[in-house]
């Protein structure tokens, strides 16, 4: 894992970005609450008590991002809240970026994210609050070079897929 040396301004940038807004929508039929924060970071809430929050730069066409998403219940059961941030690896002009904009602009982002990560078509949508460019730029500034990239609030970065049990251990959670 890498330790990001976040200068106060960069840490403030990450925290401000993730905490901006305040509206929340709940959705999902899998027992998890999918939160769409108006700041445009999306989160999968935990089942039960929240012990940790991680911010994951994701790409809907990334194989390991799909693996992590398909195991999201395991993270939730361990009390790890996952916040997704868009990071289309092929760039902002790619088809992946367009799909990710549609996910964030969907009236049901939880279903749209799952469908997109399962290679299913989703309705093309645009919205004035499309966060993909801003989230991609934030990832670049923080040194993200691939997906998934897991960033903790403490500034630790774990590049690549990390199984739920291993992530819990890295976060110092007692299992």
Q: Give the tokens for residue 51.
A: 């012990």
The verdict on whether 12 is a catalytic residue reads: no
Cα torsion 14, 15, 17, 19 to 10°: value is: 160
pLDDT at 25: 27
Per residue in 8-60, pLDDT tens? 455 555 555 555 532 222 233 322 222 222 234 455 555 667 688 888 999 99
Among 52-56, 74-78, 95-99, 169-173, the range of highest mean pLDDT: 95-99
d(CA 53, CA 144): 18
- Using alpha carbons only, how large is the chain's radius of gyration in Å? 15
Under the banding of pLDDT at 50, 70 and 90, the label for residue 66 is very high
Assess whether pLDDT exceeds 80 at residue 105.
Answer: yes
Point out the catalytic residue in the list 44, 66, 83, 89. Answer: 89
Over residues 32-42, the pLDDT tens digits come to 222 222 234 45
Active site residue 156: no
Cα separation of 126 and 157, whole Å? 31
Q: φ and ψ at 128, to 5 degrees?
A: -70, -15
- The 10 Å Cβ neighbour count of residue 128 is 5
Catalytic annotation, pick one of 62, 66, 83, 130: 62
Strands 2-3 and 34-36: unpaired
| CA distance linking residue 14 with residue 4, whole number of Å | 12
Q: For residue 129, with 0-12 CB atoms within 10 Å meaning exposed, 13-18 middle and 19 or more buried, which class applies?
A: exposed
Confidence of residue 157 (pLDDT cuts 50, 70, 90): confident
Please give the residue that has the higher pLDDT: either 32 or 77. 77
Please tell me the chain's helix, strand, coil percentages from 3-state DSSP, rounded to the nearest 5: 35, 15, 45
27 compared with 69, residue with greater pLDDT: 69
Q: How many residues does the chain have?
A: 175
- pLDDT for 11 equals 53
Whether 127 sits among the annotated catalytic residues: the reply is no
Residue of 44, 61, 65, 101 with catalytic role: 65
Q: Do residues 28 and 175 make contact, with C-beta atoms less than 8 angstroms apart?
A: no
Look at 109 and 11; give whichever has higher pLDDT.
109
Catalytic residue among 59, 61, 66, 83: 59
Mean pLDDT of 150-175: 88
Give the whole-angstrom CA distance, residue 70 versus residue 30. 12
Among the listed residues 103, 114, 108, the one whose alpha carbon sits nearest the alpha carbon of residue 71: 114
Q: What angle do CA 26, 142, 27 make, to 5 degrees?
A: 5
């Amino acid at each position: 894992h890498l330790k990001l040396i976040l200068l106060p301004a960069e840490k403030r940038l990450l925290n401000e970005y993730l905490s901006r807004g305040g509206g929340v929508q709940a959705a999902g039929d899998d027992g998890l609450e999918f939160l769409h924060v108006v700041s445009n970071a999306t989160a999968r809430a935990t089942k039960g008590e929240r012990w940790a929050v991680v911010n994951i730069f994701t790409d809907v066409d990334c194989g390991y991002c799909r693996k992590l998403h398909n195991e999201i219940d395991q993270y939730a059961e361990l009390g790890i809240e996952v916040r997704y941030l868009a990071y289309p690896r092929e760039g902002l002009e790619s088809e992946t970026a367009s799909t990710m904009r549609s996910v964030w602009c969907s009236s049901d982002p939880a279903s749209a994210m799952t469908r997109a990560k399962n290679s299913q078509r989703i309705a093309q949508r645009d919205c004035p609050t499309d966060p993909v460019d801003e989230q991609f730029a934030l990832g670049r500034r923080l040194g993200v070079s691939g997906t998934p990239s897991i960033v903790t609030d403490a500034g630790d970065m774990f590049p690549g897929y990390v199984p739920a049990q291993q992530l819990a251990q890295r976060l110092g959670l007692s299992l």
